[in-house]
Amino acid sequence: MAFDPASLKYNDQGLIPAIAQDEETGMVLMMAWMNAQSVMRTLATKRVTYWSRSRQAFWIKGETSGHTQTLVDFRVDCDQDCLLLVVRQEGPACHTDRKTCFYTAVRQGQDVELMTPM
């Protein structure tokens, strides 16, 4: 059965959260937003393409930084309202030059930085 991006449950702005996970380590790298067209572009090209809410434009991960994400597996959650993108990440995923955007933990009420920039 062919996948139809219109079958996904988008929010009122036509967006769906997409979580990027590293194929080798299983590490959660980042969360960004996609719309139906960025889903189609990602599936067609295997170059992960998000929707930038601030720029109101498509954002191909790594287009300017060189820190690309190549799609390995595209998964839809049970409610069809969230995506998991298993990716081959080149370089850091975070704009702070860290491997992951999730580098801050809250422990005993304090922010704890788990990793420094690469």
- The confidence score (pLDDT) of residue 118 equals 63
8-113 folds as: Ubiquitin-like (UB roll) (3.10.20)
- The confidence score (pLDDT) of residue 1 equals 78
Among candidate residues 15, 76, 77, the one with its CA nearest the CA of residue 50: 15
What percent of the chain has pLDDT above 90?
A: 87
Please provide the size of the chain in residues: 118
Q: Determine the distance from the C-alpha atom of residue 93 to the mean position of all C-alpha atoms in its chain, rounded to a whole number.
A: 9
User: Could you tell me the residue ranges of all domains in the chain?
Assistant: 8-113
- The confidence score (pLDDT) of residue 117 equals 74
**Which own/partner pairs from 90-99 qualify as long-range (CB within 8 Å, at least 24 positions apart)?**
90/62, 90/66, 91/62, 91/65, 91/66, 91/67, 91/118, 92/67, 92/117, 92/118, 93/20, 93/22, 93/29, 93/30, 93/61, 93/67, 93/69, 94/29, 94/30, 95/65, 99/22, 99/27, 99/29
CA separation for the pair 61, 7 (Å, rounded)? 24
CA separation for the pair 21, 23 (Å, rounded)? 6
Which residues of the chain are modeled with pLDDT < 70? 118
State the pTM of this model: 0.92
